[in-house]
Structure 1
Amino acid sequence: MCASCSYHFLLFLFSQAKQLVGSSLLVREDDRPELEEGEFYSRDLLGMRVTLKETGEPVGTVVNVFSTGANDLLQVMLDPSVKTPDHTGNPKSETGVSGPLVWVPFVEAIVPNVDMNKREMQITPPKGLLELNLRSHERSKKERRQLEWKQRRKFQRRLIAAKKKLHEMEQQHVFHGFRFGQKAQRSLLADQIVGVNSKLLQQALQNIELSSQRWSSSEFISTKLTKLGQRTLKVSKKCLTTPGSEEKLDSNFELQEKGLHLMSKGKMAIVLFVNDSEKHGRCSVPELVDSESAGNSTSFLQTLLSDDRISLKKEDRVSVPLIMVSPAHEVHSLENLFSNHDHFAFDPKKVWFLEDEKLPVVSNSLGGENTQKILMKSPWEILQTSVGSGGVISLLSSENILDNLSEMGVEYIEICSVNEEFVSSHSLLGLVSSLESDVGIQISEGIEDIEENFHMIFSMKFMNKLTKQMKKLQFHGIPKLNSHVEMVEKEWVDVTPSSPNSLELGCSIYSSLDACSLDKVCVVEIRE
């Protein structure tokens, strides 16, 4: 074909193609490319039934699929039988042909099962997801603006109160960042200030001013235990972990049975404390998921929550409240882990995921002044660190969890760290109940760092008393080397110290013993 003919032929093709602009191109269903596992064509999802994975109850039908870039959103028309809240928040039942529409993120954590053959998908929506976006959908634009305005006003009141507290503590330098940066950066600083537990910070600073030496949890607990001879039960680890052990024929067996009975009746809540992996280099939540390289072996936390380790039948777990406390960067991973494993048979409505309590890092000394100053990571970020195990007590109070547990009939709270030395606490619970103790401590032989491997049970009566006597808790300041920024002559300067220049404020859960009479404390000592 000559060059001139080729040119005219291309012009012809171009003109024909131009006519297709804006048109829809169709392909036979059999000619569609094969998808990999976990991939679906949006068209195939339309009309699928949606049910709750845990109960099998109908939710609705997928009527549309929207792509948001990050992940797809399923628009689900609720089943007419599903009760939904009206504008007053009271339940109502839809009786029409079609129900209201709600949005469901199409991610594995929320939509774990999609059965193309049965044309059905099972969902595990987080608490309040369906009701939340339903109520948002039903609100008028005016109502949404009013709600946003109320939320901003509420936040502003909290910010003003927080700034006032810090001003009283002579920490005004924290506010310098409000005069610089962009709106998002100033908003970050506002969030950081509101998040400071000023009451706990003030108590911690007062403690370290009065204390002339570093607080040692090991020495503290050793001193206490020497006075508890008659209230100490010594048992072997084999007795607690080996089914059918002959040692279970003694009185310890009765204590285990009593403890197990109390747990199965929902009389004890469990608080699991996950240490900061970035700080301690230990248990890390990303390691708490199945690994192909490990031959699909279960993670440590999964093992801990199995029948073999926690020694609580799955049918009984629905009665036991569970509180997971972890660093902020691991909360989401924990939520996904539980969601992917059906919450390990615990009732999702009785499971909480909390960020561990934090306090600002303060200067060791600043310009010869006695007042410790909060250090800034940036002009808009406060340098903070975890309080440690003692912070759990403050969390339980501030999050109103104790009130919820009381309403559930809980009488005891078990607080323990997630570690490889974990052993079931049924004997300890039985002992605490039998002796009518306020505090029970479980200690394993050979464990040197008891602060990282703690296991305690508190009576609800004592815990409620303790939250009202937070001043009884002992704080300590650990000298650390921390880089930070500070304002010098109206300019921000990076400070890189060569020696410890700061104090990281911490509190051990064992310091709670100062608020308890020793005749109300008992111990289970586990021997190898």
Structure 2
Amino acid sequence: LARFFSLFFSNFSTLFFLSWVLSENMQGSSALSCSSNSISAPVGLCCSQRPTLPFRNQRIVLENPSSLKIFHFHRNTTFPLLNCTATEEIVEASETEGLFVETGYIYSVHGLQGEVRVKATTDFPELRFSQPGRRWLRQQVTGRDMIQEIELVEGRGHPGQKSWILKFHEINTIEQAQKLVGSALLVKDEDRPILEEGEFYTPDLVGMKVFLKETRELVGTVINVFNSGASDLLHVELLPDRNARPQLEGSASGPLVWVPFVEAIVPNIDLSKREMLITPPKGLLELNIRADERSKKERRQLEWKERKKSQKRLIAAKKILHEMEQDHIFHGFRYGEKNQRSFLANQIVDVNSILLQHALQNKKIPYKRWSFLDFVNALQVNDTLKLSKEFFSIENVEHSSIGSKVQEQGHCLISSGKVAIVLALTESKLLGTSSIPEPAGPHEEIAYLHVKALLNDSHRLLKMEDRPSVPLIVVCPAESIEYLKQLFMDHDYFSFDSEKVWFLEEEKLPVVSASQEEENKHKILMKSPWEILQGPAGSAGIVTLLSSQNLLEHLHVMGVEYIQVCSGNQEFINGEMLLGFTKSREANAGIQVFRDAGYLEEHFNIVFSIDFAKKLTKKIDKLQFKAILKPNQHVEMVEKEWVDVIPSSPNSYEFHSSIYSCLNACPPSKVCLVDITA
């Protein structure tokens, strides 16, 4: 046994020494020098432009480039996977310039004669798989990419499987073929087909810098290209900060966006500079960017907390309605689909129960109602400024020292950002409508003509140069909010700052029954088992809206001192004179009225100081509501069935309150009036 081990180690040492000498000679031999490289994971694509409608798309040619660099030779005994006659060299990939292109990968064996199945990653399958000749295989051995030459004997397509069946030289058994499964098929990079003018290989696009064509602003870097079917898509990594320098490799990455690789959006590509210019449509670079950068776990936790808050709000709202003896509203929870029950829950939470209770209390307690006309007549003479409509012409204002001084003071408030405008578009009488109509077909332009005319008229609302500094709150019906948002976006927000524009749904109150049998019990009527019948609460609801949305506090932080609340159905609502006069009189509220209009309550232009407006939200009991008797169709639960009730006479009350009733909370000495006559 000792002699055996002695002989074994002696022979082993001799073999090791000879192997080392042979290896040194091979590395020094210039005749066997060769290059290798490491394989890059991205799919290599060739993109060619072709005309389509409405753009010229570019198709992807799947031909994967491998970044195979320098070949390091090893003995065959280290990689006994293949037995090929073309060459016996096995090489390891390293990180140098790419010399190979990946054309497919072997995913299975076929039959018993050593054939294999290949999934093509090239748009030249006939060229790559049907023509015999030299190919290269890339496999992983002990965690390293190894390259070996192999001879393709024949290949044929397999249409049913969308693959190719290949036969390699000296691979004749299923056992030999199984050793090839998982390998990537490669060809020399120099064998890539020459592209026509205007065509690009995807590897040439990946890594390119992307600039905006108009401004030459650096947008980001192309990190990959994908075929979406209709057209190719560039996956662009945006800079975390558009004004920052390009990120170094390994640094924090920016958001990813998709850019269609069509000539209309990517008109210029410079391969030598590795740059491309793009002309993206408005909003394209903002698509698919997640504003919330929190993790998925954090977002789920936040969603869970929001659901718990919603459940608590629903429980609290149901408790209040139960105390008001309105339990019939909850019948809808026992019927319908999940989305219908959710809609009912949202409606219950949104009911302004405090305002509803106050309106019902107004209905029950008779007293002398507050009169706006009597209030105006009670104002002191020195708190009233009477002007004619002609006064507001430029010539007359310039020749009036008092008027010009007051108007200049108002303009100073506006231009310095100390005024916010609340524009109520809920009761417009223009075009024969009682509210902004729901857009439909060709009448869309006509239906919103009064809105555009109002916002485009500097004389009626606000001068264009002052609008960027003025916050704007638009109050309108729920069905009009989305269209109004689009209208503002299409017209560049009519020169207002988009960050200072809010759209609020008008305040609504439930419609209640008017039963003579139960005079003091008013049931909330249901439009359907899952929808509460509601009506506009009137212009006074603007006060509660500002309170519920916490906008007053936000405006106060922005430095706003006065809030102008106006309806959009007036011939003249410019507030410079009213603001200046309110400021000069140090009043809590200022009113502009048209005597010829007969002091119509639906035409209003009022200025509140921000401090008075905040106090007003805590004095909702000062608002005066009218209970208007009207017929309203509704549904009721009768013997466990829903029944439609179609009245032949008035059967319900709708509550309405004018914004002028807010002045009931303000002493006349703190109110000023601008009275405009014809």
TM-score category, normalised to shorter length: 0.7 to 0.9
Q: Deviations over 1:285-343 (max 9, x none)?
A: 6679999988xx99433332336325644343222111111111111111111111221
State the TM-score, normalizing by the size of structure 1: 0.77
1:116-515 matches, within 5 Å, as: 119-121=278-280, 123=282, 133-135=290-292, 139-140=295-296, 142-211=297-366, 220-228=371-379, 229-240=381-392, 242-245=393-396, 248-275=399-426, 281-282=433-434, 284=436, 299-306=449-456, 308-310=458-460, 312-365=462-515, 367-448=517-598, 450-515=600-665
SS in 1 for 2:628: strand
CA distance in 2: counterparts of 1:115 and 1:526, whole angstroms: 59
Q: What is the SS of the residue equivalent to 1:309?
A: coil
Specify the SS of the correspondent of 1:456.
strand
Please state whether the residue corresponding to 1:526 is helix, strand or coil. strand
Distance 1:370 1:65, change over 3 A: farther
* Structure-2 change in CA distance of 1:77 and 1:195 (3 Å): farther
Please state how far the C-alpha of 1:238 moved relative to its aligned partner.
2.4
Q: Displacement of 1:67 after TM fit?
A: 8.9
- Note the aligned Cα RMSD (angstroms): 4.1
What is the Cα deviation at residue 386 of structure 1?
1.1
| Maintained 8 Å contact 1:417/1:453 | yes
One-letter identity of the residue aligned with 1:120: T
Unaligned runs of 5+ in 1: 1-25, 85-92, 107-112
- For 2:8, the equivalent position in structure 1 comes to none
Structure 2 letter corresponding to 1:249: S
DSSP 3-state at the match of 2:574: coil
* 8 Å contact from structure 1 (residues 481, 498) kept in 2: yes
> What corresponds to 1:5 in structure 2?
none
Structure 1 residues 61 and 404: alpha-carbon distance in aligned structure 2, compared to 1, 3 A threshold: farther
Distance 1:231 1:278, change over 3 A: closer
Give 1:488 deviation, angstroms: 1.1
Question: In 2 relative to 1, CA 502–260 (structure 1 residues): closer, same or farther, beyond 3 Å?
Answer: same
Query: 1:251 Cα shift?
Result: 0.8
SS in 2 for 1:485: strand
Cα distance, 1:367 vs structure 2: 4.5
1:272, 1:516 → 2: CA distance? 22
Give the TM-score normalised by structure 2.
0.61
Structure 1 residues 166 and 125, CA gap change in structure 2 (3 angstroms):
farther
1:328 alignment partner AA: A
Counterpart position of 1:78: 238
Partner amino acid for 1:152? R
- 2:280 is aligned with what amino acid? M
Contact between 2:566 and 2:573, CA under 8 Å: does it hold in 1? no
Identity, % of aligned positions = 46
The CA distance in 1 between the partners of 2:546 and 2:306, in whole Å, is 24
Q: Is the 8 A contact 1:101 1:134 kept in 2?
A: no
Is 410-419 or 274-283 further displaced after alignment?
274-283
Name the structure 1 match of 2:254: 100
Shift of 1:176: 0.7
Shift of 1:121: 2.6
- State the alpha-carbon separation in 2 of the partners of residues 291 and 456 from structure 1: 32
Does the 8 Å contact 2:211/2:278 carry over to 1? no
Structure 1 residue 409 displacement after superposition: 1.0
The 3 A distance-change label for structure 1 pair 278 and 350 is: same
Whether the 8 Å CA contact 1:389–1:508 is kept in 2: the answer is: yes
> Counterpart in 2 of 1:16?
none
Q: Specify which structure has the higher proportion of strand.
A: 2
Inter-partner Cα distance in structure 2 for 1:105 and 1:448? 59
1:99, distance to aligned residue in structure 2 (A): 3.6
| 8 Å Cα contact 2:565-2:607 kept in structure 1 | yes
Distance 1:470 1:256, change over 3 A: same
The answer on whether the counterparts of 2:567 and 2:604 sit within 8 Å (CA) in structure 1 is: yes
Extract unaligned runs of 5+ from structure 2: 1-45, 60-204, 269-276
Deviation at 1:248, TM superposition (A): 4.3
SS at match of 1:308: coil
* Contact 1:327-1:356 within 8 A present in 2 as well: yes
Cα offsets for 1:232-274 (capped at 9, x unmatched): 111122222x333367424111111110011100111100001
Aligned-partner Cα distance in 2 for 1:222–1:285: 31
- Give, in angstroms, the shift of residue 147 of structure 1: 2.6
Report the secondary structure of 1:415's partner residue. strand
> Deviation at 1:83?
9.1
- Listed one character per residue, the Cα deviations across residues 418-471 of structure 1 (whole Å, up to 9, x for unaligned) are 114233111110100000011101012322462221110001111111111111
Higher-Rg member (1/2): 2
Residues 426, 506 of structure 2: 8 Å contact kept:
no
* 3-state SS in 1 of match to 2:672: strand
Report the CA distance between 1:98 and its aligned residue: 7.8
d(CA) in 2 for partners of 1:314 and 1:29? 45
The answer as to whether partners of 1:388 and 1:508 remain within 8 angstroms in 2 is yes
1:40-51 matches, cutoff 5 A: 40=55
Between the aligned partners of 1:364 and 1:56, the Cα distance in structure 2 is: 69
State the AA in 1 paired with 2:660: Y
User: How much has 1:43 moved relative to structure 2?
Assistant: 5.6
Secondary structure of 1:446's match?
helix
Displacement of 1:211 in angstroms is 3.5
Q: Note the C-alpha offset of 1:65.
A: 9.4
Q: Contact 2:420–2:472 at 8 Å: present in 1 too?
A: yes
Which segment drifts farther, 96-105 or 428-437?
96-105
Kindly tell me: are residues 159 and 316 of structure 1, through their superposed partners in 2, closer, same or farther at Cα, counting changes over 3 Å? Answer: same
After the TM superposition, which of the residue ranges 226-235 and 352-361 deviates more from structure 2?
A: 226-235
Q: Secondary structure at the match of 2:515?
A: coil
Partner Cα distance (1:248, 1:181) in 2: 69
Higher fraction of helix = 1
CA contact 2:507–2:545 (8 Å) conserved in 1: yes
